[in-house]
Every structure is written in C-alpha cells, then in structure tokens.
Amino acid sequence: MNNTGISWTDYTWNPVSGCSKVSPGCQNCYAEAWSHRWGRSFDVTLHPEKLKEVRKIPAGSKVFVNSMSDLFHPRVPTKFINQVFQAMETRPDVIFQILTKRPEEIHLRVPNLRPFPRNVWLGVSVEMRMYIGRIDELIATGWKYGESEGHHGVKFVSFEPLLGDIGTVKFHFSLAEGVSWVIIGGESGPHHRPMNIEWARNLIIQAKEQGVAVWMKQLGGFRPGGNIVDFPEDLRLREFPEYEKEVKP
C-alpha cells in the first residue's frame, strides 16, 4: 500500500503488478515505464503477501486497486481475484476503486466469481469513441454487492487519457443501474498526446445533464496539469458520487 498523487484516491494497493497493452490508451503506460525505470519485469505477477496490507489502511480512505496492473487481466486467476475480494470484505470502512479495460473478463468469470464486496466501486477506462462499448459491458455485468444488499452500487468511467471526442454517452440505462461517476483527464509526460478541451467539455455537459458526478483530473501535457485553478472555470469540477455518503468508517 502506498500514498499517491492521484487526486481521486488516497492510496494505491497492488496485489497484482504487470499488464499488457490492449488499446491505444496503453501506449504510454506510466506503470510500464515506472517498472522499466527501476529494472523490474512488467509481466503479470501475483503478490499474495500484499493481501494482508488492507489491515493498515486508515478508516474512511479510498484505495485504487492495482494501479500497476488490471485485476481482470486474463492471466490473473479467478481464485486470486476472489482472495482479493475477501481481503477487501474485511475492511468495510474503506472504499476500494477497481478500474479495468477488460470488463468482458468479468462476464467470463461470473460463475466462479464471488459477489463484489459492498465497498467496491467498479469502473472501466474509455479513451476514445471506439471503446465506448466498455461502458455497455460494465452495465451488462449486472453485478451487485451480494444478494442481500438491495442495491447495485457505484459504477464509473475513466476517460483518461482522453484521446478523442467520445460523442454521445448514455449513462442511464433502463434495465440496470447506470454510471454515477466519471473521471476525465488528458495524457501527461514527454510523449503525451494532446487533449482538446472541447472533448472534456462535451463529456461534462452530458454528465451534468444526466446527474452524474464529474472529477476533472488533469489537462495533460508535459506535466500532469492537475492544478484545478488552471482549468477553464466550467471544468473546475471534482465531485464524488452520492454513494460515498452511505459508506462511513
């Protein structure tokens, strides 16, 4: 478990490290660059010894799970994912944020996958219009916080790095709970691909029309550009979904 500069969370926790590229958003993967900088392999690797780290997380924290990997990578066994879920269940006073580019893997694992713990937020990354189907996959999982909870919980979309105009996004669905939170951010670093402000503005307008909370993370560029006072005024939004009020230490 580590402190982090990621504005929408408090800590990162990596029971899995390493990944593989699946779409253009992975081109300049910071996790891969960081691993190579320190001479470490970026092969998918399980770290069962890190499961016990959940005991040390301060109550009321938000934790980004696998900032250095994807929990639903095909090379991560379902048995180990269930162990990660079990560890998270021991800390109901903490929110665990899971982000994946592979929501279809959830469908494949459902018969053997434990119900998502109540304190999990599940999200997908969508960097350009051609991957908007990941949002449909997220909704179609039909996952909920166990059979007795009576609600479906927080689903979110990370539009980072935002590499093009996403177009029209339907966050509300008639047959399932929709998306209740979106994160928007441009790519940063020496090889960044610029984000057009209008792409972000288009998403914000749609999110606000549909009652979806927005977290504008960064403008991107050589440096992250994450200082909110530097944003155009209508982009100065950093909101969490309403569900946060229901989870108390």
pLDDT of 144 reads 56
pLDDT (mean) for 54-79: 96
Question: In this structure, is the dihedral angle defined by the CA atoms of residues 23, 205, 238 and 133, taken in order, positive or negative?
Answer: negative
Pairwise CA distance, residues 70 & 72, whole Å: 5
Q: How confident is the model at residue 145 (pLDDT cuts 50, 70, 90)?
A: low
Q: Are 168 and 199 in contact (CB under 8 A)?
A: no
Best CA proximity match to 27, nearest among 231, 212, 176, 189? 189
pLDDT in tens, 209-221: 998 999 999 999 8
Q: How confident is the model at residue 142 (pLDDT cuts 50, 70, 90)?
A: low
pLDDT of 245 > 80? The answer is no
pTM, two decimal places = 0.91
Cα angle, residue 43 at apex, residues 82 and 188 outer, rounded to 5°: 100
Residue 186, Cβ density class (10 Å: 0-12 exposed, 13-18 middle, ≥19 buried): buried
pLDDT of 36 reads 78
pLDDT (mean) for 21-25: 93
Best CA proximity match to 178, nearest among 123, 108, 219? 123
pLDDT (mean) for 11-29: 93
Q: Which of residues 99 and 40 earns the better pLDDT score? A: 99
* Strand partners of residue 17: 45
Q: Which of residues 34 and 44 earns the better pLDDT score? A: 44
Pairwise CA distance, residues 159 & 242, whole Å: 20
